[in-house]
Amino acid sequence: MTSVLLQVLHLSKAYGARRAVDDVSFKVAAGQTVGLIGPNGAGKSSTVGMLCGLLTPDAGSITLSGSAITTGPCAAKRQIGFVPQDLALYDDLPARDNLLLFAALYGIKGAEARRRCDQVLELVQLHERALDKPATFSGGMKRRLNIAAALMHDPALLILDEPTVGVDPQSRNAIFDTLEQWQRQGRSLIYTSHYMEEVERLADHIVIIDHGKVLADETPAALHRRLPAQAALHVELAAAAPAAWLAPMAALPGVTGVAANANALEVLLADGSAALGVMAWLQGQGAHALHFATARTKLEDIFLNLTGRSLRD
């Protein structure tokens, strides 16, 4: 049985009359990557702040390897590597010196600090820029150095808060490469992001929070089973589908919903195999399909289904 690394129980935090975090509980197993997602104002930042010992909970407890995490000095916090959304680097110090400084804060010095520095620079693909200052780096390179700083003390748990904000696709992919290497070493991560495709790529467990409460705490497969539609069929037609087609299509075996938009049809399916029956039905009606494609429902569909589509501040 996989051991529990991080245990969060009944965590709450209020700011005046507003309860930002309301009885939140979840856990992170050793070697697991948990995606922590929610709309703006859902309580993610306050939760992460308490996990890192930066904020004091009003109620509840957080333990890492059985030791409590508190806002004061505690051994458990030394097992956490935190990558904040805002860069935590000294622009005028060479990359290597930045990392040696963070190592020194954890009491790592001399040959061990230099060895760790070489390891993490190689991991984030910045070894050739070790003597250059972050002021000369691109945004993506700074993000990777920010991750390297959080890895200098070889943490048991790495917490990343929106680590790919404002970076180009190549840099985002390099960050993923780094994190996937970390995963292959059996390390644990908590990953927060507004980019659902990132969470789908990295996480083997997902926690969705909104209005300070946990709405889901499940594997990606279990989350997908929450939706009646497991796949979607997109069909582009030579001419708009008559409105009279929509009800009969919705009644076809395996179809859970149909929507028309100009010359396109979006058909939600209980299973991808139902697409064949839909296409055969359209052919029988004399429809001329210019293009069609099927896709599995995405985490974004599940997220919107649970949290709603209204805009947040």
Contact between 223 and 216 under an 8 Å Cβ cutoff? The reply is yes
Domain contains 306: no
| Counted domains in the chain | 2
247 and 212 in one domain? no
143 and 31 in one domain? yes
> Interior CA angle at 41 toward 65 and 76, to 5°?
15
| Angstrom distance (rounded) from CA 262 to CA 105 | 60
209 and 235 in one domain? no
Task: Give one word for 15, left, alpha or beta, with left for phi > 0 and alpha for psi -120 to 50.
Answer: beta
The band of 41, judged by pLDDT with boundaries at 50, 70 and 90, is confident
| pLDDT tens digit sequence for 237-256 | 999 999 999 999 999 999 98
Amino acid 165: pLDDT: 84
52 and 179 in one domain? yes
| Angstrom distance (rounded) from CA 78 to CA 156 | 9
188 and 99 in one domain? yes
195 and 65 in one domain? yes
| pLDDT tens digit sequence for 115-164 | 999 999 999 999 999 999 999 999 999 999 999 999 999 999 999 999 98
Strands 4-15 and 59-64: antiparallel
133 and 48 in one domain? yes
148 and 260 in one domain? no
| pLDDT tens digit sequence for 195-207 | 888 998 999 999 9
Domain contains 65: yes
Contact between 144 and 126 under an 8 Å Cβ cutoff? The reply is yes
Residue range(s) defining the domain that contains residue 257: 231-296
| Angstrom distance (rounded) from CA 119 to CA 130 | 12
| pLDDT tens digit sequence for 167-188 | 888 888 999 999 999 999 999 9
Residue type, 298: K
H/E run at residue 121: helix 110-123
Q: What is the CATH number of the domain that holds 66?
A: 3.40.50.300
Q: Is the pLDDT of residue 301 over 90?
A: no
252 and 125 in one domain? no
Domain contains 303: no
Last residue in a domain, options 185, 219, 253: 219
Phi (first) and psi of residue 224, to 5 degrees: -65, -30
Contact between 24 and 47 under an 8 Å Cβ cutoff? The reply is yes
246 and 165 in one domain? no
Domain contains 312: no
Amino acid 247: pLDDT: 94
Last residue in a domain, options 219, 254, 269: 219
Domain contains 169: yes
Q: What is the CATH number of the domain that holds 277?
A: 3.30.70.2470
Last residue in a domain, options 163, 197, 219: 219
Domain contains 190: yes
Domain contains 118: yes
Domain contains 313: no
215 and 237 in one domain? no
pTM across the whole model: 0.81
Q: Of 227, 195, 221, which is closest to residue 206 (Cα–Cα)?
A: 221
Higher-confidence position of 206 and 224: 206
253 and 212 in one domain? no
